[in-house]
Structure formats: structure tokens, C-alpha cells
Amino acid sequence: MKNIRLTMGQALVKFLDNQYINFDGEVLKFVEGVFGIFGHGCVVGIGEALQETNHNLTFYQGHNEQGMAHTAIAYAKQSNRKRIMAVTTSIGPGALNMVTAAGLATVNRIPVLLLPGDTFACRQPDPVLQQVEQSHDLTISANDAFKPVCKYWDRISRPEQLMSAAVNAMRVLTDPAETGAVCLALPQDVQGEAYDYPEYFFEKRIHTIKRQELSSTELEEAVSIIKQSKKPLVICGGGVRYSEAGKELADFCNQFNIPFGETQAGKSSLTWDHPMNLGGIGVTGTLAANKIAHDADLVIGIGTRFSDFTTASKWNFKNPDVRFMTINLNKFDAYKMNATPFLADAKAGIAALTNTLKTLGYQSCYQKEIEEARTEWASEVDKLYQTDEQEGFSQTRALGLLNEELMAQDAVVVGASGSLPGDLQRVWRPRSIDSYHMEYGFSCMGYEVCGTLGAKIAEPDKDVYCMVGDGSYIMLHSELFTSIQEGIKINILLFDNHGFQCIDNLQGDQGIPHFGCEFRFRNPQTKQLDGNYIPVDFAANARSYGCQAWTVHNPEELKKAMAEAQKSPVSTLIDIKVLPKSMTDGYSSWWRVGTPEVSQKSQVTEACKDMKKNIAKTFPY
């Protein structure tokens, strides 16, 4: 057996450079590059290894640790989890800044490899700069904070430990059922320590993603459940997209006259105009999907984790005889809602069901309900697209112009938080597959701009647009600077509505006066933040980075700015001044929040009574 003497940092880079994935016979390089912000905890270890030219990993300089991790996650998401990026930081604050992103990746089932520097394994220089010390346990460092939000965690305390840790990291990152954030904590002394690694550790490794099939017994049971239903409804989750099962879902729903609603992660698995597509479902769903859900006697969840927004806090299903079944690779998700679970790949599972049910001549009992629900909702969207208030530019009007007139059909839209995800899930009409990129498992403010860069790196030949509110943009847009640095053009559509308006709406809906959600000056008379709105020139901010930017107040200005932005060779930002409260509202849905039982405000206690009435109507599991 031949050995190669390398530092642990060098060995890690060499190992990552030789990881590949086999999906349906197509072999792809799995780890495409590394984002990093260097500090004393990584610059002379893994940083030295990345500086060498004996590997094919692209290094990207990030500008905020959370932001660059969001970029890496978005890259993997837009690549349908077939390609990933690694992310490296220094110790202490640099590492801890990635904890939020780790939670985001794990919640959304997106693979990302986090490589934070760590304190010295030898402990000789302790406490080192930025070290977190715990007097009761000297083995703890800041990186232990990653444990609750990662699917796999390890600390490389000796250089030879890299071998088992790296293989286990790949095991989790390439597992569609268990993937998420993986953290390998790298003590800064160990990164530079050498070891005689066996050559076979660096051989090309191909990780095959196998499509798990339904067994004959499972298929028989699943078919039996569907045969008994008269009004089944499919919920299309992210698992449909990552399995690339859109065609199979289309065939299944067409063949048996079964409608489907979309989660945020599942949206754009099929285009909006598919005759069985009811659009988004749940709290931010369409009237069409929610009305059909109320009467469904069987809910078939495919690749969904049944979040509270998808199920409307388990309130959406009114049929007293409703049953649930799932097709999911993740056992934990498959058992939710007291469902009968079928552990299978979405594409393989749907295809098997279609073939068997076709021979049995099964058809749902829907008559005109699906078409009528779609027609009613299409009319509502058309109205929202055209509605404009005399006193200003509405958010839905702006979205309508962008969707119907101003964007290429294959353009990718990216979003994450605020009122925009609700509007987009309801009214955005995807015209091409995988063109809707929404992070709504964590709904993490600050993902949008950074995620847009990741999606653009994954889709270099498509226009990629960030849909972001002013609040989220202010919170984190660090990788806009990276896009300028790298010459990677992204487009920011910033909807300025003076604050966190969707949360302000939630506050008001529960009887609580407006407080702390809008961006206002402090009023010297009331001593509260209820003065005038704070005027911000977001276009000027973007220009300071080197972007081309515009400020618009009406449809004509938006059309002109979009035309100019599409000609721009650099990243762009359009600051769209929209009316506060001009977003969509709920459509036959409910969301449970912790409304106070005791309050001096009668509106709050009345809202609490309504909450308790709705709790009584929810599905008990």
C-alpha cells in the first residue's frame, strides 16, 4: 500500500476534489468549490491547501459567513442536490455566524459541508484568540453549537481521523433521506499536521443515488388506499423536484383525474398551467387548492414534510373521513399526519402507482370541481395582477408585470421571507421547470440575495432574479459584493414597503396595535417608533458596490428599468417603492400563533377565542 504524506488540510482538499455522484447513470463532480473567509483559524491550514493549484476546486471569497453559506446552500438546491459547495471559516465568531445557515440547510434537506476552524487540539496555547472557554468542560468549543442543527458533526482531533470523518460526511451529504448540514470542525493545529495517508483514500469515489422502489406488498397497499378514495388530493413537495419526478406526477394526475397542490419547495416541479395544478396550498396557498383540500378524503403527500404552512396548522382538511398516505424517502417525514407511510423515491413510487392503477381502471369522482376551482383562481390572479391603488404602486401589480411581461420564461426567481413568499406562492405562474427557488422551510431573512448568487452559479445561462423586501435586504446582502467581484450578474428586485409588513399584518390580525414592525423614526412626542417612514435610497446603496440600479414608483418606470437591467453587464438592483399592505391576504386558510389568553385589549382576547375555536377544528395528529 502506497502512502502520500500530506497535511490534514491538504488531504481534505484532495479528498473533496475526487468525490462524484451517480444519478440515473449520469456521473457528476459532487463538490464544485469552496467558499471561505480566512482568519487565523483556517488561513494557514486549509487555506494553504486551497491556494495550491493541484486541485480543481474553485475558491470563492465570501463576505459574511452566514451569507456565503446561504450561497452554497442555494447552489445545491438549484442543482437538485446533485452538486454542492463547501464553506470554511475561522474559529469563534466566524464559525458561529454559520450556525443559522446550518439550521436552514438541515430544515430544507439541502446538503452543505461546513468546515469551521477550531481551537487547538493540543490545548497548549489556550485560550487562543476568539476561543469560547467553558470551565466545566474543556472539550467544548464554539463549534459544539452546530450539533443541534447538523445531520452529521465531527471534530478532527488527529490528522488520521479525517479518513473516517470525511467518508461519513459524504455518506450523509449524498443520502437524499438524511441530507442536510454536515460540520467537520478543524482544529487549527491539526490542519497543518502531516500524516502518511493511503493513496486509496484519494481515489475517485462515485456515490450512487439509488431510486428506492416500492415493494410489491407496499404497492398493493398503496393502490388499495387510493382505490377506496373518491376525492384524493396530491401535495407536491420538494421531494418531487429533487427526484425530478415532474413528468411522472403529471402523468399520474392526468390519468386518474387527481388534482395537486404545491408546497413552496415543490412549486415549479410542473408549470402553472397543468390542468391538475391548483397552485400553492396552505396558509400562503390559493383558494383553489385550499377549497379542494377541505373536501378531500385522501391526501397523498409526496416528498413533503407537512409543515404548518402546508397544512394550515392541520386545519385545512375538513372531511371527517380524510386519510393520509405518503411517499417519502425520509421515514420521519413519512409518518407525519398519522399517514400510512411508503418509503420510496418519488419518481419510482409514482410510476409504479400509475402502472398498477391504470390496469385497474381507477378514476377519481371529481366532476367539474377542479376546472371550476382553477378558473375561479385564475380570475382572481388576473385581478390582482391588474389592481393598482390610486395612491401608489401595489406589490401584486408589480409581480404581475414581472411575471407576465418583463421576465424570460426560463428566468429563475429566488425568495425566502416576508410577504413576498406568500404572494409568490399564490400568484406567481412558473412557465418552466425548476424556475421557482423558495427557501421557506426556515424562512430565513437574508437568504434572498446570497441565495440568488448560488442559484446563478448553478444556472449560469439563465437570468436569476432575487425577490426581496427592504427588511431582508438590510439584514444581509453581503454576497452582492461577491457577485461584482466574480463578474457573476444577478438581479435584485427590492420591494420597499417600509418594514416587516407581513408581521405587522399578523400583529394587527390578533388585535395588537402596530408596534415595532415598520421602519419609522422615533416620535419625540410618543417616545415610540411611530414617526414618519425612514426614506432609504437602496439604489444608491447598490451603486456603491458597482451595480447598476434604478428606483421606480409605477409600472412605466418598472418596465423601463427592467429593459435597461437586462442589458446591463453587471449585477443590478431595482428599488421598487410599493404601497405598504398591498400584498395578498389569506384564502380559506388559518395559521395558529400564540395569541395571548389574557390582555387589556379586548381585540386580543377575542382573537384568542377565535384561535381556540379553530384549534378545535384541526386534525388531531
Per-residue pLDDT tens over the stretch 256-268: 999 999 999 999 9
Q: Is the pLDDT of residue 69 over 90?
A: yes
Q: Identify the residue whose cell numbers are 400509475.
A: 354
Interval 422-439: pLDDT, tens = 999 999 999 999 999 999
- pLDDT tier at 1 (50, 70, 90 boundaries)? confident
Interval 283-309: pLDDT, tens = 999 999 999 999 999 999 999 999 999
Cβ–Cβ under 8 Å, residues 41 and 89: yes
Measure the CA–CA gap between 566 and 434, rounded to whole angstroms.
21
Interval 40-49: pLDDT, tens = 999 999 999 9
Interval 524-542: pLDDT, tens = 999 999 999 999 999 999 9
pLDDT of residue 472: 97
**Sequence-ordered alpha helix ranges (H) in 264-410:** 287-295, 308-311, 331-334, 346-360, 369-386, 395-401
Instruction: Return the C-alpha torsion angle 472, 473, 474, 476, nearest 10.
Output: 80
pLDDT of residue 374: 98
Cβ–Cβ under 8 Å, residues 396 and 584: yes
pTM of the model: 0.97
The average confidence (pLDDT) of the chain is 97
Nearest Cα to 310, choosing from 273, 364, 370, 267? 267
Q: Is 355 buried (19+), middle (13-18) or exposed (0-12) by CB count in 10 A?
A: exposed
Q: What is the largest CA-CA distance in the chain?
A: 80
pLDDT of residue 621: 81
3-state secondary structure of 301: strand
Q: Which range has the worst mean pLDDT, 124-128, 164-168, 376-380, 479-483?
A: 124-128
Q: Identify the residue whose cell numbers are 446591463.
A: 568
Measure the CA–CA gap between 532 and 535, rounded to whole angstroms.
9
Q: In degrees rounded to 5, what are phi and psi of residue 465? A: -120, 135
Cβ–Cβ under 8 Å, residues 209 and 222: no
Measure the CA–CA gap between 294 and 322, rounded to whole angstroms.
9
Q: Is the pLDDT of residue 369 over 90?
A: yes
Beta strand residue intervals within 241-285, DSSP E:
260-262, 277-280
Measure the CA–CA gap between 591 and 220, rounded to whole angstroms.
36
Question: Where is pLDDT greater, at 1 or 410?
Answer: 410
Which secondary structure element, helix H or strand E, spans residue 95, and what is its range? helix 93-96
Q: Is the pLDDT of residue 12 over 90?
A: yes
Interval 173-222: pLDDT, tens = 999 999 999 999 999 999 999 999 999 999 999 999 999 999 999 999 99
Q: Which residues pair with 551 in a beta bridge?
A: 575
What mean pLDDT is predicted for residues 494-505?
A: 93
pLDDT of residue 391: 81
For residue 89, count other CB atoms closer than 10 A to its CB.
28
Percent of the chain having pLDDT more than 90?
A: 97
Measure the CA–CA gap between 477 and 569, rounded to whole angstroms.
20
- The pairing of strands 19-23 and 26-29 is antiparallel
What mean pLDDT is predicted for residues 576-590?
A: 93
Domains and CATH numbers, the chain: 3-209 (3.40.50.970), 216-373 (3.40.50.1220), 387-498+534-577 (3.40.50.970)
Measure the CA–CA gap between 47 and 9, rounded to whole angstroms.
8
DSSP of 494-552: EEE-SB-HHHHHHHHHTTPPP-S-B-BPPPTTT-SS-SSBPP--HHHHHHHHT-EEEEE
Q: Is the pLDDT of residue 132 over 80?
A: yes
pLDDT of residue 388: 73
Q: Is the pLDDT of residue 117 over 90?
A: yes
What mean pLDDT is predicted for residues 32-58?
A: 97
3-state secondary structure of 577: strand
All 3 cell numbers of residue 501? 409588513
What mean pLDDT is predicted for residues 166-177?
A: 98
Tell me: cis bond preceding 198? Omega within 30 of 0 counts.
no
One-letter amino acid identity for 218? E
Interval 372-404: pLDDT, tens = 999 999 999 999 999 877 788 999 999 999 999
All 3 cell numbers of residue 11? 488531504
Interval 311-350: pLDDT, tens = 999 999 999 999 999 999 999 999 999 999 999 999 999 9
